[in-house]
Structure 1
């Protein structure tokens, strides 16, 4: 578990169980038959159709690659123990995704081409995970209480294992040995169902993720429900789990703002909302459309987040724990255009997509969703997105500025206000980025490689996570503080055809006595080749130190005028820095973390009381 994540103990007599009346209502919606999202291997019409498509051939190729690794990777109890001994999850993180992909792909490959080639390996994988003392990632069990059997917990990894096992049982059926099918049921029952339901109904020691507003909620609920709808024989039990998912998913929905913005960043949108879609489509299917979350206007806005967050040319903002090389999965970005929905008046069919592009092949249910729950996976298309010159999410103070599509200008930029209490937070109130074409030259550093420190009380010792590693001021020698109280205030905003401007009050992000004014003016201009201007003003009660910074992964140099040139080839920007109220000195360093961007800094040589620093950023050509 991460720092501050504690299981929940409700007052006596209270619990999280769904209302009995709602369970009965859901029961009336359900078929008496068990349900799974896939198509069983015995349905040769459907699977032979898949086999003769690029998607079927891709599944076969990915499965062959997964099973051909030598030595074949397995998660073992020894790997758990090595992670704790080294105080690092590296050994687990190197192996677990490979095993998860194999467990997801091989059953599907046996449906595409039912030769029996992979059945032995599939059964070996079932036995191997049954021998693990825990399915919980070692970073979520640092005290080893789950591993030692002192208590139970189910995390993201647990539900991915359980869901992949359930999919294998459903897809392959009696092609698996009876003892393997029985083993799948017993493992999921004692590791997942029994301890979870007991906690939900008692209200004691309830897994902390049931009320979080980040990706854990939707991911875990999707895995739980996928297992319950197939493995639970009793329809009333299945109804209980459906009603529970319906009750608890509101926490996940609360992780999105009214504008559809997701504070965890666009890569976690792909993970969290991707599983929300999976969960929603499951419920829509199993209830015959009587529960259909994707009809809500708010969900439509959430679904558009991935498309709206593309700055330009396939580049996305890297705030919070977003990976820098993120590429959105077209199936999810365009899901609302391609899902089976008879009530929609039509869909765009001009620009085709590859529905398997940018996916991990680790989640069997996701692959089945893509294959069988679109109008036609072979005819999936880009949805209706306007490509506006700006996207302004007022409720989180996040702005994306783009050049007009018809313009020769290639400069784009983002700026973020908000607060420092978001999910997967970085202390970065006021951060901004500048892109030229497809290159983010002035950047937010993105996520660090996760270690045991990342989600501990020492999180902000990491210089990719604290404000030192972001293009925001250092005020009186102080970095930004974490927490929702570290909140920017919008002083003014102006959006016009030729330029966008926003002014933020950043004082609350710093615990500095005598800080009277701290404002950041962000100006984006669409005239000529474009320009970005950042003007910071500070006023102290008594003179103090003040410093600003830029972060870049690109090559940089100083020109003869003392300006900074950032970039290479025909993608270079010129950064001119001027000051009022004092003389500046320039410094730079490499941030020595899992990523190593350069930090370019300007500070006043002497303490100032009332001063300004302006950075003007323009393309060199």
Structure 2
């Protein structure tokens, strides 16, 4: 179903409303209304940034990605620059004494002097195209962070007294707005192809840049029309259930960026986007976070997602209020929201400072089946279980069709490892050489060493789910996720939560090759006859043969943020055609 944003009405209803009305430097009332402790902390953060040397970026640093595949070294310096500028701009807006202005101008100058604002990993003129080793200033690429840099500088110029307003406007025009309006980038939806988080992430930042600066008043109509088209294309690809196809980690880059973009258009067009906020589909998109949440900072992390995520930022609360979701609003409040310290969005940080709070109540826990991505979630007071019954053809895919995640009393038992730090290999043809992407490092079987295959068509089939007061059930056949080399006719998996009694996972296969079941465990298991104990969870095995356990040391910092100690892989042979795990 295509959710309409009514493009002509957005363009026709545009006003000259300033998106930072009341927050610009000459108007001190709003900044002084912040609690004193908050103001002191913001000025202290600005002083810390002021005392640090500004990170240097060179052609050699930019070229590391093409030379070695290293993304992290350049990106550390690139993002540190922008976070330092953020801190000093907010400190100056709070204090208003001009103490930070000279250093702010030097920082802005150095960012404007960068030959390209796009990341090295994104320095391509087409989707999946060849990565150039250096940026071409005459042919700028509008990627996620070129657009975000434009938004950052536009907001900075709106909030503080800078001598560089004209240069900022010129750089934004040349590097971002003119290419956006005159060229066809894949993420705009103009040329077809599948949309993803880039569509809304880039669009929101282009809107922020364009709507923050008076210099771009004449472009508002064109930009709003193109932005509306892109948002419509993005919404059209979302299922009515609102589940994020790229996994829960990308909720903040997909659902929340969608919200910001819609909110901006609504603000400057006399509320013309209000019907979209009233739609059930948009509410479902907002509430997906509730479905994927396990407990505390734990989430069902299929795909390129971490098992532990930062508390919801204030955008979640604002999105909840916009779509009328009391549960999501209370969830955001109870989680103790905070702006992500790694985020470079100055707009989001300012919005967070001026988002009013209310008293939090306990939200209702969510469960259900999201057919658009095949996500099954069930829970009772003791167990949380999630399973994926979708496709290996999604963006940010891992080969994990049929895999399960299980927590008992908030503690992980059967886990999804997540993804390592991104490198050149992560989004290349060698992606599935990375061990965390492979089905044998998920809670899945292999057949004579043959694992699942990536791509559209490698899917679960005959999927059926049921939820009653006594139980929650998922049935599926995952044989279709394996290539012909697995010589598999069918592989039936049944996941059953019997509320108050435990969980069972029952597998039955029909094939020529004997399977080996892989179980990825959060803690070192204790093995005894027909039983695996992980923490206070007991897994009673029926139909298992030999059990081998290997320890996996976690060395990657991104994985270690969720799994700081070693994890374990148990490998089980089958004694027959079926294997049953009873978990209590």
2:63 maps to 1:81: yes
2:523 maps to 1:554: yes
Could you say which residue in structure 1 is the equivalent of 2:583?
617
Q: How does 1:148-297 map to 2 (within 5 A)?
A: 148-149=136-137, 151-172=139-160, 175-177=161-163, 180-199=164-183, 206-211=184-189, 212-231=194-213, 233=215, 235-292=217-274, 293-297=276-280
Larger Rg: 1
Query: How much has 1:369 moved relative to structure 2?
Result: 2.5
Q: Which secondary structure does the structure 2 equivalent of 1:271 belong to?
A: coil
Shift in alpha-carbon separation, 1:312–1:121, aligned structure 2, 3 A:
same
Shift in alpha-carbon separation, 1:295–1:236, aligned structure 2, 3 A:
farther
Shift in alpha-carbon separation, 1:470–1:145, aligned structure 2, 3 A:
same
Q: How does 1:30-41 map to 2 (within 5 A)?
A: 30-32=14-16, 35-36=19-20, 39-41=23-25
Query: How much has 1:123 moved relative to structure 2?
Result: 0.8
Shift in alpha-carbon separation, 1:38–1:274, aligned structure 2, 3 A:
farther
Could you say which residue in structure 2 is the equivalent of 1:600?
570
Could you say which residue in structure 1 is the equivalent of 2:548?
586
User: Structure 1 residues 591-600 or 262-271, which shifts more?
Assistant: 591-600
Query: How much has 1:115 moved relative to structure 2?
Result: 2.2
Indicate if the aligned counterparts of 1:506 and 1:518 stay in contact, CA closer than 8 A: yes
Q: Deviations over 1:308-365 (max 9, x none)?
A: 22123442111111122213415233324545x9x99999889955443556452111
Shift in alpha-carbon separation, 1:241–1:298, aligned structure 2, 3 A:
same
Query: How much has 1:108 moved relative to structure 2?
Result: 1.8
Q: CA RMSD in A?
A: 3.0
Shift in alpha-carbon separation, 1:532–1:463, aligned structure 2, 3 A:
same
**Which aligned runs of 4 or more in structure 1 are off by greater than 6 angstroms?**
343-351
Q: Deviations over 1:510-536 (max 9, x none)?
A: 113642221111111222xx4221111
Of 374, 377, 391, the residue aligned with 1:397 is 374
Of 19, 22, 30, the residue aligned with 1:46 is 30
Of 331, 334, 340, the residue aligned with 2:314 is 331
Could you say which residue in structure 1 is the equivalent of 2:538?
574
Unaligned runs of 5+ in 2: 124-129, 560-565
Q: Deviations over 1:101-139 (max 9, x none)?
A: 122232122111112222122111111112211111111
Q: Which secondary structure does the structure 2 equivalent of 1:261 belong to?
A: coil
Of 471, 486, 492, the residue aligned with 1:519 is 492
Q: Aligned partners of 1:28, 1:615: CA distance in 2, in Å?
A: 60
TM-score, normalized by length of structure 1? 0.83
Q: Which secondary structure does the structure 1 equivalent of 2:493 belong to?
A: strand
Shift in alpha-carbon separation, 1:116–1:209, aligned structure 2, 3 A:
same
Indicate if the aligned counterparts of 1:337 and 1:382 stay in contact, CA closer than 8 A: no
Query: How much has 1:614 moved relative to structure 2?
Result: 1.4
Shift in alpha-carbon separation, 1:93–1:597, aligned structure 2, 3 A:
farther
Q: Aligned partners of 2:149, 2:571: CA distance in 1, in Å?
A: 47
Query: How much has 1:507 moved relative to structure 2?
Result: 1.3
2:306 maps to 1:306: no
Shift in alpha-carbon separation, 1:153–1:614, aligned structure 2, 3 A:
same
Could you say which residue in structure 1 is the equivalent of 2:563?
none
Shift in alpha-carbon separation, 1:496–1:347, aligned structure 2, 3 A:
closer
Q: How does 1:311-460 map to 2 (within 5 A)?
A: 311-338=294-321, 352=333, 354-356=336-338, 358=340, 360-372=342-354, 374=355, 377=356, 379-382=357-360, 385-388=363-366, 390-404=367-381, 410-460=382-432
Shift in alpha-carbon separation, 1:232–1:545, aligned structure 2, 3 A:
farther
Query: How much has 1:441 moved relative to structure 2?
Result: 2.1
Count of residues in Structure 1 that have an aligned counterpart in Structure 2 = 559
Q: Aligned partners of 1:328, 1:28: CA distance in 2, in Å?
A: 38
